[in-house]
Amino acid sequence: MHWGMQRGAGLRVQASSGVAVADAVVLVRMGFLPAPCRVVYVIDEPDIRGFAYGTLPGHPESGEERFVVRRDPTTSAVFAEVSAFSRPATWWSKAGGPLVSVAQRVIARRYLRAV
């Protein structure tokens, strides 16, 4: 909830809030590439905690990413989950085609390793 998954994945984070709260604006950067987003909802339940953010104008993609940590109450096993949907929002992300998809999978793995 403190942007640790993003920072642990090697991204730079500038956010309007130190924690993920609804409507917080976050600028995530990988290298020079800016990716502005807004937190659209927060999950705070006994066995699942996390948030989702949606892209804002200036992001190379149009979509949403969800980050949660879930505990199975039966086994006490803990799972980190990242889910996303998106489509290209710029000419160069459209032109990147399959490379953009590969980059998205790589960063999702880095998020999970960070947890």
Which pLDDT tens digit goes with each residue over 5-59?
Answer: 999 999 999 999 999 999 999 999 988 889 999 999 999 999 999 999 999 999 9
Handedness of CA 35, 38, 41, 44 (dihedral sign): positive
Instruction: Read off the pLDDT of each residue in 62-72 and give the average, rounded to a whole number.
Output: 96
**Is residue 115 pLDDT above 90, yes or no?**
no
Instruction: Read off the pLDDT of each residue in 72-82 and give the average, rounded to a whole number.
Output: 95
State the CB neighbour count (10 A cutoff) for residue 67.
25
Instruction: Read off the pLDDT of each residue in 84-95 and give the average, rounded to a whole number.
Output: 89
Of all residues in the chain, what percent carry a pLDDT higher than 70?
A: 100
Architecture (CATH level 2) of domain 4-114:
2-Layer Sandwich (3.30)
What stretch of H or E contains 64?
strand 61-71
At residue 94, the pLDDT reads: 87
Q: Do the beta carbons of residue 108 and residue 101 sit within 8 Å? A: no
Q: Which residue has the higher pLDDT, 66 or 90?
A: 66
At residue 45, the pLDDT reads: 97
